[in-house]
Amino acid sequence: MFFSLDGKQVHGATGAVGFEGRSDPIVVLIHGAGMDRTVWSQQTRFLAHHGFRALAIDLPDHGKSEGPALESIADLSDWIAEISNHFGEKIHLVGHSMGALTALHAAGNHKDSISSVSLLGVGATMPVHPELQEAADANDVKAAQLITSWGHGTKHHLGNNPTPGLSMTGGTQALIESTARGVLGVDLLACSSYEEAVESAENIDCPILFLLGSEDKMTPRKAAQPLIDAISSEKTIVDFPSTGHMVMIEEPDLVRQKLLAHVTSS
C-alpha cells in the first residue's frame, strides 16, 4: 500500500489485506537499519488475518518508500507519529533494532499516538562497531556480511528455518545488500548517536513487550536491562534462548504468537 506523508510517498506491506472498510486496530511494524518491510514477512500477513490492520512500513529511502533517509531516532519517531495522524487513530508499534529505538522514542514522546509497543533486538544504547560504520559508509558489502554474521545466533547460522527452503542468513544478507547506497551508514549513525532511550522508557505509559535473543551480538541481552528497569508501565519480557538479533526471522512462530497476544490484550 502506498500513501503520502509530508508530501512524500510511503510504502508498507499489509499482508495483502486492504485497509478499505476496516476499523480493526492498526499495527505498524518498523524494520531496522539497512532493512525493509520484508523482515516482517512471517508476522505481517498473520496479524492481517487475525483482527488487525497490519502495516509493515518501509522507512524513508528503504524498500519502496521515497527518500531521503531520516537521520535521527527522534526524526524517525516523529515520522511514525505522523502515520498515526494520517489514519486519525492510535497505533500499535512493533520495532526491531533501529525500528525498536524509533518505537520506544515514539511511545515515550508521542503518548497520544501509541497504544502499545513491542521491541525486538533493542538496547539502551546501540554502539556500532567503527569498522561496520566505515564499511556501511563506503557501501562495502562487508557491512551486510558483518550484520548478517552478528545478527544470527550460532544455531541459526546453520538454519533449520521453519519456513521450508529459505536460508536465514542468506535472506538477511541479500536484504541488506539491496539497501539504497548510503542508507545503511545513515541508519547506523542514527542508532549509535541516540542517547535518550532510558529517558523515553521512563516516560512510557502504554503496555510494552520485549522479545529478546539471548545470543544477540548486535544489541546484547544485558543492554536491554536498563530499559526494562526504567519502564513503570505494564511490561512483558520474553527471552529467546540460542537466538540472536534477528528474532522475528529466527523464531517466527513464537514471535507471531507473542505479538498477537500483546496487541490483542493492549
Partner 1 sequence: MVEPEFRRFDTRALHAGQYPDPSTGSRAVPIHQTTSYVFDSVDQAAGLYNLETSGHIYSRISNPTVAVLEERLASLEGGVGAVCTASGMAALHLAVATLLNTGDHIVASRNIYGGAFILMNHTLPRFGITTTFVDPRDPEEFAKAIRPETRLIFAETLGNPGIEVLDIGAVSDVAHAAGLPLCVDSTFSTPYLINPIEHGADIIMHSVTKFLGGHGVAIGGTIVDGGRFDWEASGKFPTLTEPYEGYHNITFTEEFGPAALSMRARAEGLKDFGACMSPANAFYLLQGVETLPLRMARHVENTQHVIELLDGHDAVEWIKHPSHPSHPDHDLAKRLYPKGTGAILSFGVKGGREAGKKFIESVKLASHLANVGDAKTLVIHPGSTTHQQMSIEDLENAGISEDLIRVSVGLEDPEDICGDLDKALRSSQR
Total interface residues for partner 1 by CB under 8 A: 46
Backbone angles phi, psi at 36, to 5 degrees: -150, -170
Q: Are 212 and 239 in contact (CB under 8 A)?
A: yes
Give me the least distance between CB of 79 and partner 1, in Å please.
Answer: 21
Nearer CB in complex with partner 1: 15/121: 15
DSSP secondary structure string for all residues of 183-220: HHHHHHHHHHT---HHHHHHH--S-EEEEEETT-SSS-
Give me the least distance between CB of 167 and partner 1, in Å please.
Answer: 4
Rounded CA-CA distance 191/99 in Å is 9
Give me the least distance between CB of 217 and partner 1, in Å please.
Answer: 10
Nearer CB in complex with partner 1: 206/260: 260
Among 28, 29, 30, 45, binds partner 1 (CB under 8 A): 45
Binding segment toward partner 1, per CB under 8 A, in 108-116, 159-167, 179-187, 222-230: 159-167
Q: Are 16 and 5 in contact (CB under 8 A)?
A: no
DSSP secondary structure string for all residues of 67-88: SPPP-SHHHHHHHHHHHHHHHT
The answer to the question of residue 256 lying near partner 1 (CB under 8 A) is: yes
End-to-end Cα distance, the chain: 25
The answer to the question of residue 41 lying near partner 1 (CB under 8 A) is: yes
| Interacting residues with partner 1 (CB under 8 A) | 13, 15-16, 36-38, 41-42, 44-46, 48-49, 63-64, 129, 131-132, 142, 145-146, 148-150, 155, 157-167, 169-171, 174-175, 177-178, 252-253, 256
